[in-house]
């Protein structure tokens, strides 16, 4: 039973990667059939907000707590929604249409490297060039960027392609380079959104309500953007039941359900464990995109995808080591429930200094026992 409990986060994340693959492939198919990506984003975020809002409301009633949405919280949520939802998803789906589902997934693996680069520039990430972990981060970031450039600029001979091309295989988005640049911009927006989570969560700690507000603001902002860029109201019409199904799937599964799954897995195993499953999604999407959408697979794209995954794991490994070092530095002082064992060297000077350090916080005003040794209370 214990082994199954340990496997639950793994099973959940594997299933989640399959759902992401289904989302990417079905969305690309709908876009190739003529659905507007900007309209799709509005429907997706509106459906997600309608699903999450009642859950947030009843969860607040159950906990009998209500977080106040002040000016600072409102501003942070609005900016995070603008960057992480509105701009990010509009750029991503436009790049998905111009490039391919497999390339979009591969470029998504740039997220940890781009986040590290932005955090280092802002001074949020410690950089010590003499440390092997820092070197691994820098090299991993460069390998990720090099792999992304290989995906965008180098095609090479075909590895897999459709033997019987369908209209879907000719996406109508032949601007491959522009699609890759848009997908890279999407990774940058998502990285900024991740960094904004720190002050935003501190200002508004109710994560369920936070997600509902972000979906609502994302739907509102995306609707305004869609009306500006596409004033023709006919684009809002869904032409098939498949497009409607894609909107509900993206809103409920891609936004609402994935939020809970990711939050639960991160609470059990941490964010690095969750991020390490992203390359699995790349493999799944690449295989299914070749089989279902008849997308062509090139040597340059495959080599670039492998480089991105290798660089990703280098960055994740170094971050995992940083977390281990932080936990060791915290030590037992940050966990008062654990018993502290003090080992005193035979050197007399070290013994005196240890006694001096331990006397104030642990004796609680009691005097020594008279023979020079101090009594320690737990």
DSSP letters, 278-297, are HHHHHHHHHHHHHHHS---E
How does pLDDT run across 289-326, given as a tens digit for each residue? Answer: 777 777 777 777 778 778 877 887 787 787 777 777 77
Listed range (41-45, 240-244, 364-368) with the worst mean pLDDT: 364-368
Question: Would you call 278 exposed, middle or buried from its count of C-beta atoms within 10 A (0-12, 13-18, 19+)?
Answer: buried
CA angle 267, 285, 159 (to 5 degrees): 140
With a CB cutoff of 8 Å and minimum separation 6, the contacts of 128 are 134
Pair (122, 219) in one structural domain: yes
- State yes or no: pLDDT of 230 exceeds 80: yes
Domain region containing 359: 335-378
Number of domains in the chain: 2
- Distance, CA of 32 to CA of 97 (rounded, Å): 7
Pair (62, 96) in one structural domain: yes
Pair (371, 253) in one structural domain: no
How does pLDDT run across 237-252, given as a tens digit for each residue? Answer: 888 889 999 999 998 8
- State yes or no: pLDDT of 191 exceeds 80: yes
Pair (69, 197) in one structural domain: yes
How does pLDDT run across 144-184, given as a tens digit for each residue? Answer: 777 766 766 676 777 655 444 444 444 444 577 888 889 98
Kindly list the distances between the CA atom of residue 349 and the CA atoms of 62, 283, 369, 376, in Å, as whole numbers in the listed order.
Answer: 58, 61, 20, 19
- Indicate the pLDDT class of residue 340, thresholds 50, 70 and 90: very low
- Indicate the pLDDT class of residue 50, thresholds 50, 70 and 90: very high
- φ, ψ for residue 33, nearest 5 deg: -85, 0
Half-sphere exposure in the Cβ direction for 147 (13 Å, CA): 26
Pair (199, 314) in one structural domain: yes
Pair (142, 57) in one structural domain: yes
């997706």: which residue's tokens?
A: 44
Taking all residues of the chain, what is their mean pLDDT, rounded to a whole number? 74
- Distance, CA of 134 to CA of 252 (rounded, Å): 39
């990417």: which residue's tokens?
A: 24
Pair (238, 365) in one structural domain: no
Pair (46, 66) in one structural domain: yes
Pair (211, 264) in one structural domain: yes
Q: Confirm if 155 and 303 have CB atoms less than 8 A apart.
A: no
Pair (92, 65) in one structural domain: yes
Pair (174, 279) in one structural domain: yes
- Distance, CA of 339 to CA of 174 (rounded, Å): 65
Bridge partners (DSSP) of residue 308 are none
Of the candidates 272, 321, 334, 308, the one whose C-alpha atom is nearest the C-alpha of residue 128 is 321
What pLDDT shows up at residue 223? 94
Among 314, 330, 346, the domain boundary falls at 330
- State yes or no: pLDDT of 345 exceeds 50: no
- Distance, CA of 266 to CA of 103 (rounded, Å): 26
With a CB cutoff of 8 Å and minimum separation 6, the contacts of 44 are 89, 247, 250, 251, 254, 255
Pair (250, 364) in one structural domain: no
- Distance, CA of 293 to CA of 101 (rounded, Å): 9
- Distance, CA of 313 to CA of 280 (rounded, Å): 12
């Amino acid at each position: 039973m214990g082994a199954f409990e340990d496997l639950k986060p793994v099973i959940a994340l594997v299933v989640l990667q399959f759902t992401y693959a289904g989302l990417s492939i079905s969305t690309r198919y709908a876009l190739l059939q003529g659905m507007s990506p900007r309209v799709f984003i509005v429907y997706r975020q509106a459906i997600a907000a309608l699903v999450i809002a009642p859950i947030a409301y009843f969860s607040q009633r159950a906990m009998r707590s209500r977080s106040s949405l002040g000016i600072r919280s409102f501003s942070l949520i609005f900016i995070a929604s603008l960057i992480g939802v509105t701009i990010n998803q509009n750029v991503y789906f436009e790049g998905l249409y111009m490039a391919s589902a497999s390339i979009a997934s591969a470029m998504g693996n740039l997220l940890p490297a781009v986040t590290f680069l932005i955090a280092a520039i802002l001074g949020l990430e410690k950089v010590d060039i003499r440390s092997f972990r820092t070197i691994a981060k820098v090299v991993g970031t460069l390998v990720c960027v090099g792999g992304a450039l290989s995906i965008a600029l180098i095609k090479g001979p075909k590895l897999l392609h459709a033997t019987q091309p369908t209209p879907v295989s000719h996406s109508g988005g032949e601007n491959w380079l522009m699609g890759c640049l848009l997908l890279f911009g999407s990774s940058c927006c998502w990285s900024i959104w991740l960094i904004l989570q720190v002050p935003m969560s501190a200002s508004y700690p109710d994560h369920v309500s936070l997600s509902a507000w972000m979906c609502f603001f994302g739907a509102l902002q995306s609707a305004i953007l869609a009306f500006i860029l596409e004033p023709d109201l006919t684009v809002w019409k869904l032409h098939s039941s498949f497009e409607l199904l894609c909107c509900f799937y993206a809103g409920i599964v891609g936004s609402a359900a994935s939020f809970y799954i990711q939050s639960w897995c991160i609470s059990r195993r941490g964010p690095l464990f969750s991020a390490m499953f992203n390359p699995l999604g790349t493999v799944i999407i690449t295989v299914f995109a070749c089989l279902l959408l008849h997308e062509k697979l090139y040597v340059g794209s495959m080599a670039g995808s492998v480089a991105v995954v290798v660089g990703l794991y280098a960055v994740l490994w170094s971050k995992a080591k940083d977390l281990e070092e932080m936990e060791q530095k915290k030590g037992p002082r940050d966990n008062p429930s654990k018993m502290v064992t003090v080992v005193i060297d035979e050197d007399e000077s070290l013994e005196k200094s240890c006694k001096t350090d331990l006397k104030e916080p642990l004796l609680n005003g009691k005097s020594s026992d008279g023979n020079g040794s101090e009594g320690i209370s737990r």
